[in-house]
Amino acid sequence: MEEKGNNSKITLGISSCLLGQEVRFDSSHKHNRYITDSLGEYFQFQAFCPEVAIGLGIPRPAIRLVKVSNDVRVRGVKDPEQDVTDAIKDYSRQAAKLCTELSGYIFKSKSPSCGMERVKIYSEKGDPLDNGPGLYAQGIMQQYPFLPVEEEGRLMDAHLRENFIERVFVYHRWQQYQNTLTPASLVEFHSRHKFTVLAHDEKVYRELGRLVADAGKADLKQLGKNYMSLLMTAMNQLATTKSHTNVLQHIMGFFKDKLSSEDKQELLSVLDDYRLGKLPLIVPVTLIKHYLRLYPDDYIASQYYLNPHPKELMLRNRI
């Protein structure tokens, strides 16, 4: 089941039941209001229900992951003879062809088809043995290893939510660049994401710098793939209060000599309060942007770190 909305927004794949579609095994839905009401302002959704797509019907008998020898199968809970493993794998390959324009995917947790991770895997006798990804989600993630993915439950965590949306915007910007990549455009893309990467992973930040320095010499297509792989590896690391403080101090270094001693003291005090968890990230970032309006710097102004996603989503108000 696929459904598309208007074309002006970034597109996310999503499990249909999270949009309120009554497609679950018991004809219910798992409508998530944060996704449709808040994220829906900025993203359009392409919905997939793999179990309905393979013809299981609504309602339908429940299925689950079952370990059979070294394989994980998807079988009926009541009728172990029912095995839809191959049908779900086939559908996952078909659906992946429709996902080329997606900039992220929100999966329904705990589903043997859609769960991103930690879905229960049972023994053939029905005892819980282990856990792993749902079979459909696993197929999509294998086809698109860099695609930002998340589950609806984890989106309720402020840090995971901010990280997912930031990854979506980085990935989406890369999608705009990748087809017309030149050494110069790679350097520009990297330059504008430097502080973003630094906030997530200092080691990868240095590796990316070395990679981009070779932009004129290496095979550009391969270089682009290597760049994306490293970039998304970094973005998958949660930025910490310490790493954000480090980045903010770096940025402050670009204009601190222009500040009066009172302004400098105020900024340092706000940074310290953020470091100690007394203020959210939005406060020092807003103050820095204020000083950048007074003392413009083109390089800092170009950094996506200062405007990673729409401020109306208020993602930095709680981290």
Residues in touch with ligand SF4 (CB under 6 A): 15-17, 23-24, 49-51, 108, 111, 113-114
CB atoms within 10 A of CB 277: 8
CB of 51: closest distance to ligand SF4 in angstroms? Answer: 4
For β-strands 63-68 and 119-122, DSSP reports them as parallel
CB of 33 to ligand SF4, least distance (A): 16
Amino acid at 217: K
Q: Which is closer to ligand SF4, CB of 92 or CB of 111?
A: 111
- 135, 112 contact by CB (below 8 A): yes
In terms of CB distance, is 18 or 170 closer to ligand SF4?
18
* Of residues 156 and 184, the one with the C-beta less far from ligand SF4: 156
The least distance separating ligand SF4 from the CB of residue 109, rounded to whole angstroms, comes to: 8
Indicate the residue among 51 and 162 with the shorter CB distance to ligand SF4. Answer: 51
Least distance from ligand SF4 to the Cβ atom of residue 116, Å: 11
Helix (H, G, I), strand (E, B) or coil at 112: coil
Residues β-bridged to residue 44: 11
- Choice between 122 and 195, CB closer to ligand SF4: 122
Q: Please, what is the angle between helix 183-200 and helix 241-252, to 10°?
A: 120
Helix (H, G, I), strand (E, B) or coil at 117: coil
Give, in order, the Cα–Cα distances in Å from 64 to each of 6, 29, 50, 70, 134: 35, 18, 14, 16, 9
Question: For 172, which DSSP code?
Answer: H
Q: Which residue has the tokens 């589903």?
A: 111
- Report the nearest approach of ligand SF4 to the CB of residue 8 (Å): 25
Structure tokens at 42: 């900025």
Q: Which is nearer to ligand SF4, 143 or 226 (CB)?
A: 143
- Minimum gap (Å) between residue 73 Cβ and ligand SF4: 16
The DSSP bridge pattern shows strands 128-132 and 10-15 to be unpaired
Across the beta sheet with 149-151, what order do the strands follow?
43-48, 10-15, 105-107, 149-151
Return all residues near 275 (Cβ < 8 A) that are at least 6 apart: 241, 242, 245
With respect to ligand SF4, which residue has the nearer C-beta, 51 or 201?
Answer: 51
C-alpha–C-alpha distance, residues 213 and 215, integer Å? 6
Measured from the CB atom, is 121 or 223 closer to ligand SF4? 121
Task: Select from 242, 244, 316 the least CA-distant residue to 280.
Answer: 316
